[in-house]
A and B are shown apart, each in its own frame.
Chain A
Amino acid sequence: MSQRAGEDYAEFAAARAGHLYRSACLLTAGDTHLAEDLVQEALGRIYVRWSRVSRVGNPAGYAQTVLTRTFLAHRRRFSSRERARDSFPELADTGADHTGADPSLRLTLLDALARLPAKDRAVVVLRYWEDRSVHETADALNMSSAAVRTRCVRALARLRELLGEDLAEYARS
């Protein structure tokens, strides 16, 4: 990588790392350590392909896609070793105060995300956190639009089941 390309990459990575990390935290349902690993892995992959990535119209979107695919690849490889968690002790000290988000709701929400199959979680994060269209989500996940819709409907139904009451007053709060 030339010095110029290296600088461009460094600038891009510095600008996007925070957002990628937040996305990864949602994808992993609050596993912040795994989230760091996934972001590092995604940044590494982007580094390798930077000469091409930097020429595409939307490197930020590309980075998000790489992150999501990295997450799914990780899940495919390691799913049988992952253990169910009933608490997120590491979240206690990350502080939810500065955004005014309700910490207990946050934990409930992450817990609900954790109960979704990995692909459904990826769909939900791309659609409702990244605000991507069904079509864009389908592209990112190598799925058909119909499959994205199916997963989305299924995931939302499940989330509603898990969160309905907790979220009932949310928009008004």
Chain B
Amino acid sequence: MPVEQRHNDDSNSDSDNGQAFEVRFSAALHDAGDTFDTDRGALVAAGTVRGRRLRLRRRTTVLGGAAGVALAGVGGALLVPWSGTPSGQPRPPSSVSTTPHPTSSPAARAVTSDEMISTLEKLLPKGKFGKAEGRGVDASEPLVAPYAQVVYDDGRGASAISVSVNRVRPGGYDARQAVRCPDKVFTPYDSCTTSHLPDASVVTVVKGYEYPDRRVDTKLWTANLVTPDGHHVSVSEWNAAAEKDTPVSRDEPPLSAAQLKALAAAQDWRGVVDAIPEDPRQTQEPPMAQEDGKAIRQTLASLVPRGLKVVAHGSDDDSQFTYVVVDDGKGRSLVQINVQPDMSDVAGQLFGAGSETLADGTRVAERKQPGEKGGAGVVMWTVDTLRTDGFRVVVSAFNSGSQQTAATRKVPALTMKQLRAIALSTKWRS
């Protein structure tokens, strides 16, 4: 962008001096930025690994479409820096490298991509196989999870089946997330069953969909198994020859829930996990969820009017956003809330025509609008409030238990007046 335009844009920044400062600042910023460099190869490799993990995670436990939530599932664990010190804390130069230092175990052995593929094919019932791809254990890239994917046809339609294995910290955040049922408010699914195996492994089978908004009815069934030692095996199957952009080939994926579970539990995969060098990053615990994440949910639940039962709620890992699902006996209603400090500077955008200002200076805007995420007939009623010190509370209620699913009732279970009372409650400040 030309500098001249920048100056025009900021015509309200007062004077020539201001413009001169902009030019100098921009030059200084470029000089400062250009001094940073790092091992780009390692950065790219680690980014690819995260992408693979993210894709697998999305197929399984994590919700579709929400970037922030993806962070919770994947980045939340990985944002712990290499040495485990909190971000921003200095670390000795020796730990700066992004290249992990594999610690090989005596039992470690190489596993090739062909072995991964042949193991998967061996474990499946009789049928035709095609389009195989995979990745073995690569000691030079211990962050890359081994996987195999094949197109399998039992005679009733081709379908993609994939398996990925990995290590997770036993009992840690990733281990818990892997076997947790998805949050139905964000990810619709038909069933989710968790069971325990005799060796104390936990396995969760989810019968869900490739696209959370069901724009195409590709079914995605997954089994995630985590052993007490932190072996994580994830298998997925679709009722199409590829996960996306391929027509549905059959009503349901080929393996039953029991077969899927057995595939995940096969001992062969445990041996592959043993071959993966331990990665210090994966065995770090992520920071604990903020305590006030729980506080905001409890406050919201405490402000729900009498006669409404809280039937579901969000997790405690975000201090500024949560939700509850309430039911008055006439259908579910999602109520979500954001509590944000220091929002004065956007007052102009949020509180335009039609907003009001209360005696204490608090600004209030009320909106009734269609839902934003595809559920048929969903309406969103919102009360947005901003205290004079920039403290914003915005609460929205929907006439459905989720924004993605069709309306379950004509209007939300709370009136605008009740939403207003929640948003303006003094409890948010305590």
Contacts and interface: CB of A to CB of B under 8 A. Distances in A.
Interface of A: 9-10, 13-14, 17-18, 21-23, 25-26, 31-37, 39-48, 50-51, 69-70, 73-74, 76-78, 80-83, 85, 89-90, 93-96, 98-101, 105-106, 109-110, 117, 124-125, 127-129, 131-134, 136, 143-144, 146-147, 149-154, 156-157, 159-160, 163-164, 167-168, 170-171
B27 A33 contact: no
Contacts of B12: 149, 153
Given A10-B44, A36-B98, A81-B290, A133 B25 contact: no
Please tell me the size bucket of the interface on B: 35 or more
25 contacts: A10-B44, A14-B41, A21-B43, A22-B33, A22-B34, A34-B81, A44-B47, A44-B49, A44-B51, A48-B54, A76-B68, A78-B87, A80-B290, A90-B96, A94-B36, A109-B28, A117-B342, A125-B29, A128-B22, A129-B30, A133-B1, A133-B5, A149-B10, A149-B12, A163-B25
A105 B32 CA distance: 8
A81 to B, nearest CB: 6
A122 to B, nearest CB: 13
Question: What is the interface of chain A mostly: helix, strand, loop, or mixed?
Answer: helix
A44 B349 CA distance: 33
Contacts of A85: 88
Given A44-B54, A82-B87, A151-B345, A171 B24 contact: yes
Contacts of A74: 71, 75, 79
- Lowest 7 CB-CB distances: which A-B pairs, in order? A47-B51, A43-B47, A44-B50, A101-B31, A44-B51, A25-B36, A128-B26
Given A31-B87, A80-B292, A170 B37 contact: no
Contact of A167 (B9, B21, B244): B21
Nearest to A73: B68
Given A14-B41, A21-B36, A43-B50, 13 more contacts: A10-B44, A37-B78, A41-B74, A43-B47, A47-B48, A50-B51, A101-B31, A129-B30, A132-B1, A159-B21, A167-B28, A170-B27, A171-B23
Contacts of A42: 47
B93 interface: yes
Contacts of A25: 33, 36
A143 B343 CA distance: 13
B345 A147 contact: yes
Contacts of A14: 40-41, 44
A34 B46 CA distance: 14
B214 interface: no
A127 B41 CA distance: 28
A67 to B, nearest CB: 11
B18 interface: yes
A88 B51 CA distance: 30
B176 interface: no
B55 interface: yes
B128 interface: no
A101 B78 contact: no
B32 A101 contact: yes
B43 A36 contact: yes
B35 interface: yes
Given A47-B52, A80-B292, A156-B18, A33 B82 contact: yes
Contacts of A98: 35
B13 A43 contact: no
B99 to A, nearest CB: 11
